[in-house]
Amino acid sequence: MNIILSLWSDILSDPLLPMLLLVLVILMLLVLIAVVIQFGTRIRYLATSSASNSTVKAVQEKADHILVDAREQGIAIRMHAQMEAGKIFTDRIEEDEKFRVVQAEHLEEIAQHTKDLLIKQVQFAEKALQDESESIKKMFSGVSMQAQKEYQGLMEEIKKRMSDELSKEIDLARQAVTVYKQQRFVILNKEIVGLVEDTARIALNKSLSLDDHRGIILAALAEAKREGVFGTPS
Amino acid sequence: MEHTYTRADFAHDISLMREFFEFIFFTKRDASASKEGIDQFVALNKKPLGDVVFLRSLPPSFLESFTKESLYEMLNQLTEESKKLKTLSLTVPVALSRADVEAIGTWAHQEVSPDILIDFDVDPSIAVGCRLVWNNMLRDFSFNHYLIKNQIALYDRFTQSMPKP
């Protein structure tokens, strides 16, 4: 209890408390005024109930009228909205079409630009390739000419060497052939003489008659006598 | 010896004389070594003409020198003496006929010596001519001899017809 009393004493001792109490009183007065006003309105409504039916009816009609107007307005608004929406849609389509056209033009421009760029790039690449090709051609031409010169020089040297070697070989071969021919001709002469001898022997043996042989033998004997085979030559 | 040219002829003649004298001495016919006896012998034995000619060419004194007892001795003596006769060895290319042998023999009797005998041999490689041996000396008068003799002319003829090396 003491505690509560001490608490009250503490609270009452605070300087802000009167201000708070004043504010609470003002608020309570305001609430009271509002309740009274609300209560007075309700009483007036209840006092005028007989006229309220006509009023309600009028209000009802008015409300219906308002509703019809509101419906009509709503329809009008909807139609307007639809028209607006159509316009907006049409505008959007037109805008889209314009945008598409613009995009197409842009795309064409981009394509043309890309094409031009590619053509330029290709031309540049072709030119670079041609330049490089010319350069390579020149380089290879130089290399080829040098190689051809070296090849011709080498071929000339080989030809000269081969010609010299061939000349030597031909000279040696000719000498060998000459010696061989001489030897062969000597042998051939002997062979031919031998062949002629043999042929003559065979031919003579076959062609000569006994009388021919006898005559030749007698001639040979006479020659032997003339040569002094049998004594003093005649 | 007039018609005897070769050792074969001589041997044949000796055989013919032996046959004739055996006819005369041992057939008990009344024949003598004379012309008549030769006629009887030829008539009986029908000898070829050459044999007849030979027998008739024998001189009577020669025929009379033969007796029955000395016949074989004399024939042997004649054979031995024939070996001492000079012989001309002839190698010829073909086998000669009797006529050819007689022609060559006749020439040899006339040109070389009447008592000469010829010994024939055949060698076809000689081709023509002959190769002879006289007094142990060989002389070639065959085809080779004539080739060698004309060697230069033949060689010139060959070389002219052949291409130059």
Shared-domain flag, residues B18 and B39 = yes
Shared-domain flag, residues B105 and B136 = yes
State the count of interchain CB pairs (< 8 A) between A and B: 94
**Across A6-10, A117-121, B27-31, which has the greatest mean pLDDT?**
A117-121
A222 in B contact zone (CB under 8 Å): yes
Query: Which chain B residue lies closest to A185 (C-alpha atoms)?
Result: B165
In which band, very low, low, confident or very high, does the pLDDT at A1 lie, cut at 50, 70 and 90? low
In a domain, A171, yes or no: yes
**Would you say residue A213 has pLDDT above 80?**
yes
Interface of A with B in 191-220 (CB under 8 A): 192-193, 196-197, 200-201, 204-205, 208, 210-211, 213-214, 216-220
0.90 surpassed by complex ipTM: no
Number of structural domains (chain B) is 2
In a domain, A182, yes or no: yes
Q: Count Cβ atoms below 10 Å from residue B136 Cβ, excluding itself.
A: 6
Q: How far is CA A67 from CA A63, A72, A129, in A?
A: 6, 8, 85
Query: Are the beta carbons of B165 and A178 separated by less than 8 Å?
Result: yes
- Average pLDDT over every residue of A112-122: 81
Residues of chain B positioned with their CB less than 8 A from the CB of A219: 129
pLDDT given at position A205? 64
Shared-domain flag, residues B76 and B137 = no
B65 in A contact zone (CB under 8 Å): no
At A109, which helix (H) or strand (E)? helix A50-207
**Would you say residue B96 has pLDDT above 70?**
yes
Sheet holding B117-122, edge to edge: B117-122, B87-92, B129-134, B137-142
In a domain, A144, yes or no: yes
Query: Are the beta carbons of A220 and B130 separated by less than 8 Å?
Result: yes
Half-sphere exposure of A117 (CA within 13 A, CB side): 6
Which of B25, B57, B82 is the endpoint of a domain? B82
Please list the alpha-helical segments (H only) found in A13-49.
Answer: 17-47
In a domain, B2, yes or no: no
In a domain, A4, yes or no: no
Mean pLDDT for all residues in chain A: 80
Number of structural domains (chain A) is 1
Residues of chain B positioned with their CB less than 8 A from the CB of A204: 93, 127-128, 143
In a domain, B1, yes or no: no
Shared-domain flag, residues B94 and B78 = no
- Nearest CA distance, A165 vs chain B (angstrom): 25
Range of the domain at B60: 7-82
pLDDT given at position A234? 46
Shared-domain flag, residues B103 and B75 = no
In which band, very low, low, confident or very high, does the pLDDT at A51 lie, cut at 50, 70 and 90? low
Shared-domain flag, residues B32 and B12 = yes
In a domain, B78, yes or no: yes
Query: Which chain B residue lies closest to A190 (C-alpha atoms)?
Result: B155
Range of the domain at A74: 66-226
Between A219 and A188, the more confident residue is A219
In a domain, A234, yes or no: no
B130 in A contact zone (CB under 8 Å): yes
**Would you say residue A175 has pLDDT above 50?**
yes
Distance of alpha carbon B69 from alpha carbon B89, whole angstroms: 36
In a domain, B158, yes or no: no
Which of B25, B56, B82 is the endpoint of a domain? B82
Shared-domain flag, residues B93 and B66 = no
Distance of alpha carbon B5 from alpha carbon B86, whole angstroms: 11
Mean pLDDT for all residues in chain B: 85
In which band, very low, low, confident or very high, does the pLDDT at A49 lie, cut at 50, 70 and 90? low
Shared-domain flag, residues B53 and B74 = yes
Give me the residue from B96, B144, B145 closest to A214, CB to CB.
B96
pLDDT given at position A222? 92
- Average pLDDT over every residue of B127-146: 90
Instruction: Of B39, B56, B129, give the one whose Cα is nearest residue B92.
Output: B129
Name the 3-class secondary structure at B51.
helix
Distance of alpha carbon A210 from alpha carbon A222, whole angstroms: 18
Which of B28, B50, B82 is the endpoint of a domain? B82
Single pTM value for the model: 0.47
Query: B123 near B131, Cβ under 8 Å?
Result: yes
Residues of chain A positioned with their CB less than 8 A from the CB of B139: 224, 227, 229
Shared-domain flag, residues B57 and B101 = no
Query: Are the beta carbons of A204 and B128 separated by less than 8 Å?
Result: yes
Distance of alpha carbon B42 from alpha carbon B36, whole angstroms: 10
Q: Supply the Cα-derived Rg of chain A in whole angstroms.
A: 77
**Would you say residue B8 has pLDDT above 90?**
no
In a domain, B135, yes or no: yes
Distance of alpha carbon A90 from alpha carbon A104, whole angstroms: 20
Shared-domain flag, residues B100 and B139 = yes
Query: Are the beta carbons of A213 and B96 separated by less than 8 Å?
Result: yes
